[in-house]
Amino acid sequence: MKKASMILDRDFRIGQIDPRIYGSFIEHLGRAVYGGIYEPDHPTADENGFRRDVIDMVRRLDVPVVRYPGGNFVSGFNWEDSIGPRDQRPARLDLAWFTTETNEVGLHEFVDWCKKANTQPMYAVNLGTRGIDAARNIVEYANHPSGSYWSDLRIRNGAKDPLGIKLWCLGNEMDGPWQMGAKTAYEYGHVANEAAKVMKWVDPTIELVACGSSGSGMPTFGDWEYQMLTECYDNVDYVSLHRYYDNYSNNTPDFLARSMDLDEFIKTVVAICDSVGGKKHSKKKLNLSFDEWNVWYHSKEQDNEVWKQGKWNRALPLLEDIYNFEDALLVGSMLITFLRNADRVKIACLAQLVNVIAPIMTRNGGGVWAQTTYWPMMHASKYGRGEALRPIVNSPAYDCKDYTGVPYLDATATLADDGSVTIFAVNRDLAEGVELSADLRAFGQLKVEEHIVLHHDDMKAINTEANPDNVAPVTLHDGEMDNGKLTIVCPSASWNVIRLVPVK
């Protein structure tokens, strides 16, 4: 069996983990809203039409923020369509996803849903077909107490108290030619700066995310960040990153190494932010909002068929990736990568939350179930709080197409306020377990509370409504502690959460 080692010390820390790295995303796209969170005829629907069974699943994930309402959708969206009496809201063609948006669920409904799901909205404004006027108006509508046109309209629409939206995205993927109102880096940086300025004049307590590149594969990646931040650095708080991975080549070792690319992407964007800050002689450090990330490829062919059959229909079943076991392992490694960069990655949104490239699936009128990817997300969100530690990990490694020296054991650790330590590890070795020896002497007397393992013999195994627990975690009580040194086996191809708690 291969062997890996880890040294941990309470003084080797990366930084405080911002809980918002366990955020997610709901776009007006496919069945995310209609048939996902909202289905008034469903047996579990509450008085507002929200599915209670879905809310329960979301609460269990414990996502602190949910980005909304898009995505590509937001670049053609009039936020005013989504307020006021429902029967007077317009139905509009959504040119992002070639569907019809009925606006049955809008701003107030989403904020209400967030309360029920125990989360906070992260609201994107339209800087594609619209601009600074619409952006400042929605901040006034949502956050200004009263006594102005927009705030009084909110009160007339039933919300006496401000909606209190603290986190805002300045548009979405504005570098992408597929985006309504796509812009050059200068054009975007300029409008983002002006929008940021007036939004903060309305409410100085809000935080703003500027659009970075829509992916590191974009030809303008790097230049885009540098130029647009040169325009808006002083008025924004975060820069966004988006990244989706695929396994079209059906090469699992390559696929599982993609988190190395993610790490490079993060480091590159941090370097660009700091170089713009340096050039501006600024004391401010810009942090990162990884506001879209996931595996996304399974549904792409199917979507063309869906459009052929029902272009402009409402709530088309789009982007319904069915995730397999290997996808869950990469999602686990991506979460580990965010923890390793917790000093700069302060927000991350798993894209998306329900039905659309999502950890939670529903059937209209039917059940709800957890996809394979639900589990690493849930475990990281639940146990990966507190401080991110900086472990020294030594693992045997392999070479693949794009990377040399890919550690078989991808691992990191966190320290919670109660003194407990959690090790998160993906064993990328498909053939055998890796024995991990972890030196935890600096933490006093710890015992293994539990060892949660997600493993399946079939890398392509999936969960379905009929077989929802095909890929599900098991809890082991293994591992040996000897004078602060832990020895434990991470099985072949597995996601591991090793929870160590102080001995009372």
Residue 292 annotated to the active site: yes
* Span from 68-76, 116-124, 394-402, 447-455 in contact with ligand AHR (CB under 6 A): 68-76
Q: Name the residue among 234, 225, 240, 290 with its Cα closest to residue 262.
A: 290
Question: Residue 154: in which H helix or E strand, if any?
Answer: helix 149-156
Which contacts of 82-87 are long-range, i.e. CB under 8 A and separated by 24 or more positions?
A: 82/106, 82/107, 83/107, 83/108, 83/141, 83/153, 83/154, 83/157, 84/157
When binding is defined by CB under 6 A, the residue of 18, 80, 231, 292 that contacts ligand AHR is: 292
Q: Per CB under 6 A, does 320 bind ligand AHR?
A: no
Question: Which tokens is 368 given?
Answer: 């709800």
Q: Per CB under 6 A, does 71 bind ligand AHR?
A: yes
- Least distance from C-beta 349 to ligand AHR, angstroms? 9
- Least distance from C-beta 214 to ligand AHR, angstroms? 6
Q: Per CB under 6 A, does 172 bind ligand AHR?
A: yes
- Least distance from C-beta 93 to ligand AHR, angstroms? 16
Residues sharing a CB contact under 8 Å with residue 183, sequence separation 6 or more, in sequence order: 127, 174, 175, 191
Q: Per CB under 6 A, does 72 bind ligand AHR?
A: yes
Which residue, 349 or 400, is less far from ligand AHR as judged by CB?
349
Query: Strands 207-210, 167-170: parallel, antiparallel or unpaired by DSSP?
Result: parallel
Report CA-CA distances (Å) from 272 to 240, 241, 249, 264, 290: 13, 13, 31, 12, 15
Report CA-CA distances (Å) from 463 to 164, 317, 361: 37, 18, 10
Q: Per CB under 6 A, does 75 bind ligand AHR?
A: no
- Least distance from C-beta 67 to ligand AHR, angstroms? 9
- Distance of alpha carbon 133 from the chain centroid: 29
Q: Per CB under 6 A, does 171 bind ligand AHR?
A: no
Which residue, 80 or 173, is less far from ligand AHR as judged by CB?
173
- Least distance from C-beta 432 to ligand AHR, angstroms? 36
- Residue span 126-165 as binding mask against ligand AHR, x where in contact by CB under 6 A, dash where not: ----------------------------------------
CA distance from start to end of the chain: 34
Strand partners, 68: 123
Q: Which amino acid is at 395?
A: S
Question: Looking only at residues 198 through 217 of this chain, which bind ligand AHR when binding is defined by CB under 6 A?
Answer: 214
When binding is defined by CB under 6 A, the residue of 173, 175, 203, 320 that contacts ligand AHR is: 173
Torsion of CA 90, 93, 97, 98, to 10 degrees: 140
Question: Residue 487: in which H helix or E strand, if any?
Answer: strand 485-490
The DSSP symbol for 354 reads B
Residues sharing a CB contact under 8 Å with residue 164, sequence separation 6 or more, in sequence order: 142, 143
Catalytic residue among 292, 320, 326, 387: 292
Tell me the number of residues near ligand AHR by CB under 6 A: 10
Q: Name the residue among 383, 410, 388, 463 with its Cα closest to residue 61.
A: 383
- Least distance from C-beta 319 to ligand AHR, angstroms? 6
Q: Per CB under 6 A, does 240 bind ligand AHR?
A: no
> How far is Cα 37 from Cα 363, in angstroms, rounded to an integer?
11
* Span from 1-9, 69-77, 123-131, 147-155 in contact with ligand AHR (CB under 6 A): 69-77
Three-state SS annotation for 58-117: HHHHCCCEEEECCCHHHHHCCHHHHCCCHHHCCCEEECCCCEEECCCCCHHHHHHHHHHC
Which residue, 295 or 454, is less far from ligand AHR as judged by CB?
295
When binding is defined by CB under 6 A, the residue of 18, 23, 27, 494 that contacts ligand AHR is: 27
When binding is defined by CB under 6 A, the residue of 137, 247, 352, 494 that contacts ligand AHR is: 352
Which residue, 349 or 448, is less far from ligand AHR as judged by CB?
349
- Least distance from C-beta 298 to ligand AHR, angstroms? 13
When binding is defined by CB under 6 A, the residue of 351, 353, 440, 500 that contacts ligand AHR is: 351
Strand partners, 450: 499
* Span from 36-44, 66-74, 389-397, 471-479 in contact with ligand AHR (CB under 6 A): 66-74
Q: Per CB under 6 A, does 70 bind ligand AHR?
A: yes
Q: Per CB under 6 A, does 410 bind ligand AHR?
A: no
Catalytic residue among 173, 231, 320, 387: 173
> How far is Cα 446 from Cα 93, in angstroms, rounded to an integer?
58
Which residue, 69 or 384, is less far from ligand AHR as judged by CB?
69
User: Which residue shows structure tokens 């992407």?
Assistant: 265
* Span from 64-72, 191-199, 252-260, 405-413 in contact with ligand AHR (CB under 6 A): 64-72
> How far is Cα 19 from Cα 63, in angstroms, rounded to an integer?
8
Q: For binding to ligand AHR (CB under 6 A), which residues are involved?
A: 27, 70-72, 172-173, 214, 292, 351-352
Q: Which residues are catalytic?
A: 173, 292
